[in-house]
Structure 1
């Protein structure tokens, strides 16, 4: 962690919200000229939404990311109509948009069980085609997580999330002095002096056990998957949901929030994240903030005091740690500036990765072309 201009910086990982696939329908089967037989059609490539699947699963399980339908059966004396090729079905997460390599939207999959054909198999050979089959459709497609916002605000109830959103954007969320004011995502836009806009979502407040579907549970956690960046908002004085529940310090609050994300989907911990420590206008807030910063920088001693079920496998890597007050406006301009920096820096990273991927793809294609041409130019051995 490094400090610059009163703001704390930390490195962060990448959350996979886009995967590039090569899809190709199967080639049709050969027809049988002397008996007028027709070859079978090639298999199609389908995408089907399935809960529990992530884009990272697809990337890890299928490193070459190529999906091809089966070849149609040839027509024969015993079967004049060839058997159709086997369809290729790929399980994908719900909540994705499918876009072609040139930016044309193919469709969306929002609920488990929904499916869409992304490559059609070729027709089998028949009389009209001189009994020669056609090749299947082939193309590059991108699977994109459908985003509800650029930034998702994460925090326990009454951390001041709605107040913060109302101060940094044009949103007018419901605000009250009781938990669960926000029952559905409230969307706002931060508008900068150069007219750039960044969308921010105030998401329903988590409680301990949300991964078990307590409180807003999975409805909340599902929304987090649809944001590019996370903005953790914690009360500098700590949090207590009710007199029946234990008091949690700001440091404990961060660990509990991180655990809820981890237990729902570990990939969420790789999203770019910022931390806004709210209510800095309260008495002794500066002292509490400095204590929190020390705990984040050197968490070992503080973590020893926590039970195992409150300690995540790895901490969230906050890029910025910012003291703010939604009530007085303290630190809000700096917060908006850091949100902009984080968004721009991540966009630069993604652009470099995409450029590198395209260069590697072009180099591979070029190498394969050279090998094919060299093979054709070599003299054939006489038998």
Structure 2
């Protein structure tokens, strides 16, 4: 998936259908001069429905269609015939989609299960026909209910990526390279900061045909929770990852400090992120000998498990997959 095709934020306008009118009709038939009221009910207006689809990974299909309008319900007719219900409009979205009120930012819906359906805008009810209103004192009512209007409004649709492992690190830490080596994903890789501007997903193949999903989140910088750099726009993608893999290059000036800054940015964004399983991986370790590794290990915080790898030299990758699988399944 190219970066331009990854869309994780969009605003849409949804309008449900109006309910059909109830019918005002008096039954007339040969030999039955005064058959009484028999006007049918109006049909329900169509709903606008969000539907989860596990085969979608982005909101790109909604980028050029932002207005969704359901059909109006049909009017009732004679013989107590109910009008046809308006056709519902379905909007397919990826798992991990959330719906917010664009004014209050309040979360209205959250979709996490394949096939899950949520009515975004409910269609108006059809009006009742005149046969409902007959009584002993009014045997031929010549009125019926109109249909109830549909609803319309704007919604903010956001995507939080559903992945097993989220890669966390500063720009140019080697996250995209690691993802490209472990999976079939082809993220943009270059020797400058903020090469990755959109999250990338890849499927890691494990032993006995097992797999898990890894996400490369665009680089975090100090102050990201305040909107600096690429800001908190991409921090939300980390919320749905089961395990967080902190990637820090071996040529970093201070591994412990970098880890502390990354951890603080996650904490400031959402303190619950610190409850997730964490693994610290020192990348670009092919430039280290055993003596340097021993020295670096003294800097690494004791409370987090760590590993040394090299994506380019294919060093420690099998052990990394073993460790991640163990963490995901413990």
Q: Does structure 1 retain, via aligned residues, the 8 Å contact 2:249–2:283?
A: yes
Q: Distance in 1 between matches of 2:121 and 2:276?
A: 28
Partner of 1:277: 282
Structure 2 residue corresponding to 1:289, chosen from 282, 289, 293: 293
What secondary structure sits across from 2:287 in the alignment? coil
Q: Distance in 2 between matches of 1:321 and 1:266?
A: 22
Partner of 1:255: 260
Q: Does structure 2 retain, via aligned residues, the 8 Å contact 1:98–1:106?
A: no
Shift of 1:147: 4.3
Matched, 1:160 2:174: yes
Partner of 2:310: 325
Partner of 1:184: 198
Distance 1:116 1:182, change over 3 A: same
Aligned CA RMSD, in angstroms, stands at 2.8
So what's the TM-score if we normalise by structure 2?
Answer: 0.53
Q: Does structure 2 retain, via aligned residues, the 8 Å contact 1:234–1:250?
A: yes
Q: Distance in 2 between matches of 1:223 and 1:146?
A: 5
Q: Does structure 2 retain, via aligned residues, the 8 Å contact 1:158–1:177?
A: yes
Matched, 1:267 2:267: no
Q: Does structure 2 retain, via aligned residues, the 8 Å contact 1:236–1:288?
A: no
Show CA shifts across 1:247-281 (max 9, x none). x4111110110111111111111111111110111
Q: Distance in 2 between matches of 1:104 and 1:217?
A: 32
Q: Distance in 2 between matches of 1:95 and 1:169?
A: 32
Distance 1:329 1:94, change over 3 A: farther
Q: Does structure 2 retain, via aligned residues, the 8 Å contact 1:97–1:146?
A: no
Q: Does structure 1 retain, via aligned residues, the 8 Å contact 2:173–2:283?
A: yes
Partner of 1:107: 118
Q: Does structure 2 retain, via aligned residues, the 8 Å contact 1:276–1:322?
A: yes
Shift of 1:295: 3.2
Q: Distance in 1 between matches of 2:165 and 2:109?
A: 17
Q: Distance in 2 between matches of 1:325 and 1:148?
A: 26
Distance 1:283 1:321, change over 3 A: closer
Structure 1 residue corresponding to 2:188, chosen from 174, 198, 209: 174
What secondary structure sits across from 1:281 in the alignment? helix
In terms of fraction of residues, the more helix-rich structure is 1
Partner of 1:227: 241
Q: Does structure 1 retain, via aligned residues, the 8 Å contact 2:160–2:237?
A: no
Partner of 2:322: 337
Q: Does structure 1 retain, via aligned residues, the 8 Å contact 2:255–2:299?
A: no
Q: Does structure 2 retain, via aligned residues, the 8 Å contact 1:185–1:202?
A: yes
Distance 1:92 1:150, change over 3 A: farther
TM superposition outliers: structure 1 runs of 4+ over 3 Å:
91-95, 286-289, 295-298
Distance 1:287 1:269, change over 3 A: farther
Larger radius of gyration: 2
Q: Distance in 2 between matches of 1:94 and 1:237?
A: 45
Where does the alignment leave 5 or more consecutive residues of structure 2 unmatched? 1-104, 123-131, 134-158
Partner of 2:81: none
Distance 1:264 1:289, change over 3 A: farther
Shift of 1:94: 6.9
What secondary structure sits across from 1:231 in the alignment? strand
Distance 1:287 1:264, change over 3 A: farther
Kindly tell me the number of residue pairs found equivalent between the two proteins: 192
What secondary structure sits across from 2:251 in the alignment? coil
Q: Does structure 1 retain, via aligned residues, the 8 Å contact 2:189–2:195?
A: yes
